[in-house]
Amino acid sequence: MPELPEVELYCRYVARHALQQRITSVRVLDERILGVRKAVLLRALTGRQLTRVRRHGKHLFADAGSTWLHIHFGMSGDLYWYQGDAGQPRFARVIFDFEDGARLAYDDMRLFGVVEVTPDPDAFITEHRLGPDPLDSAFRLPLFRRIVTGRRGAVKSLLLSQDIIAGMGNLYADEALYRASIHPRRAVDTLSAAEVKAIFHSMRAILKEAIAFKSRGGDYPGRYLVQHREEGDRCPLCGGTIQRTVVFGRTTYFCGRHQK
């Protein structure tokens, strides 16, 4: 499932290949993926250029002049840049043809994603009540402290609530809490100032590292929890036992020894 680091890489992919070239046609192969009427999408994008791309949480926005292309990748969304019809991916739902003959396909086997246009990303973020993006330069520790203050419930639930922080997925929430040595069920209102700080920094570090690993095509080192997501596995940090539970409806792994 595409999480924030993958969506960041899709943004870079679009920026590397698809900007500053005229879109000669937009082909919708399956209208179920659209968040707007097909005619609206075609009218908004045909003949336009994408000039810049930005990300908020797991949402990609590409500036097309008077409107923005918006993509949410759902469970299995993917982007392919290719030449000629032979490169067309199997589950292509929307294909953008560019004037130099290249194509950008949005591929999505399970159809939980969305392709649409939206007038303004900032208005979209407000309308959809998305919290700040954890890698945004405006997302600083004092803001995170304000967000956390007065909250109750499990800290992992807080990290997964899109209206509080946009785009922290299940794996990354677990990883951040693991590194910060905080139990996923820990009540938010019992966190010390130092613990809030530790979560803030580990959250951002994990996401940045994930983007770096994935952009190099590499895998996570063995010290990462993601390499030990199995009940009874041994914690590489302290030798404790990895445990499994469910928080916020999501399968959760943590170390029973060092996460308090």
What's the closest the beta carbon of residue 166 comes to Zn ion, in angstroms? 29
- Could you say whether residue 187 binds Zn ion (CB under 5 A)? no
Per annotation, catalytic residue among 2, 5, 121, 184: 2
Per annotation, catalytic residue among 3, 116, 175, 195: 3
The verdict on whether 58 is a catalytic residue reads yes
Q: Smaller CB distance to Zn ion: residue 75 or 238?
A: 238
- Could you say whether residue 255 binds Zn ion (CB under 5 A)? yes
- Could you say whether residue 229 binds Zn ion (CB under 5 A)? no
- Could you say whether residue 226 binds Zn ion (CB under 5 A)? no
- Could you say whether residue 168 binds Zn ion (CB under 5 A)? no
The verdict on whether 186 is a catalytic residue reads no
Q: Smaller CB distance to Zn ion: residue 37 or 234?
A: 234
Per annotation, catalytic residue among 48, 58, 156, 186: 58
The verdict on whether 221 is a catalytic residue reads no
- Could you say whether residue 225 binds Zn ion (CB under 5 A)? no
Stretch of 2-10, 104-112, 135-143, 230-238 contacting Zn ion, by CB under 5 A? 230-238
Q: Smaller CB distance to Zn ion: residue 4 or 255?
A: 255
Size of the site for Zn ion (CB under 5 A): 7
3-state secondary structure the chain: CCCHHHHHHHHHHHHHHCECCEEEEEEECCHHHECCCHHHHHHHHCCCEECCEEEECCEEEEECCCCEEEEECCCCEEEEEEECHHHCCCCEEEEEEECCCEEEEEEECCCCCEEEEECCHHHHHHHCCCCCCCCCCCCCHHHHHHHHCCCCCEHHHHHHCCCCCCCCCHHHHHHHHHHCCCCCCCEHHHCCHHHHHHHHHHHHHHHHHHHHHHHCCCCCCCCCHHHHCCCCCECCCCCCEEEEEEECCEEEEEECCCCC
- Could you say whether residue 180 binds Zn ion (CB under 5 A)? no
Catalytic residues: 2-3, 58, 250
Which residues in this chain contact Zn ion in the complex, by CB under 5 A?
A: 235, 237-238, 240, 255, 257-258
